[in-house]
Amino acid sequence: MRIDLFLKRSRIIKQRDIAKKACDRGMVSISGRPAKPGHQVGAKDIVVVEWPNRRLEFEVLDVPAGNVSKDRAQSLYVVLSDEQLSDDASGFEEP
């Protein structure tokens, strides 16, 4: 599954267009490498999403075949770290 679609279906980022833009801006990496929106993600991949004021690292547990319910979305990944960074990025809205 494409990383932009996984981010949307897992509800880490609420809209696919915003997930795509985050990938294009270099804010998303998979196993330490920058990820383009079409990069394929699979179980056991480590994904990092870096916003100006937050860094989220998680491991993919499952890749869904179709749409996912809100309750199931959180079971697709496990958070390894979720750090709040400096608040110097005022004016930027987190996706």
In a domain, 36, yes or no: yes
Q: Does residue 90 carry a pLDDT above 80? A: no
- Pick from 84, 30, 21, 23: nearest CA to 52: 84
How far is residue 37's CA from residue 22's CA, in Å, rounded to a whole number?
A: 8
Please say if the pLDDT value at position 89 is more than 60.
no
CA distance 36 to 92: 22
List, for residues 12-71, the tens digit of each pLDDT value.
Answer: 999 999 999 999 999 999 999 999 999 999 999 999 999 989 999 999 999 998 888 988
The CATH number that applies at residue 65 is 3.10.290.10
Is the residue at 95 inside a domain?
no
pLDDT band at 8 (very low <50, low <70, confident <90, very high): very high
pLDDT of residue 29: 97
24, HSE (Cβ side, Cα atoms, 13 Å)? 6
Give residue 42's domain range. 3-84
Q: Does residue 54 lie within any of the structural domains?
A: yes
**Number of structural domains in the chain:** 1
Distance (Å, whole) CA 51 – CA 68: 24
Residue 92 domain-assigned (yes or no):
no
Q: Of 36, 34, 32, 31, which Cα lies nearest the Cα of 19? A: 36
Whole-number pLDDT of residue 11? 94
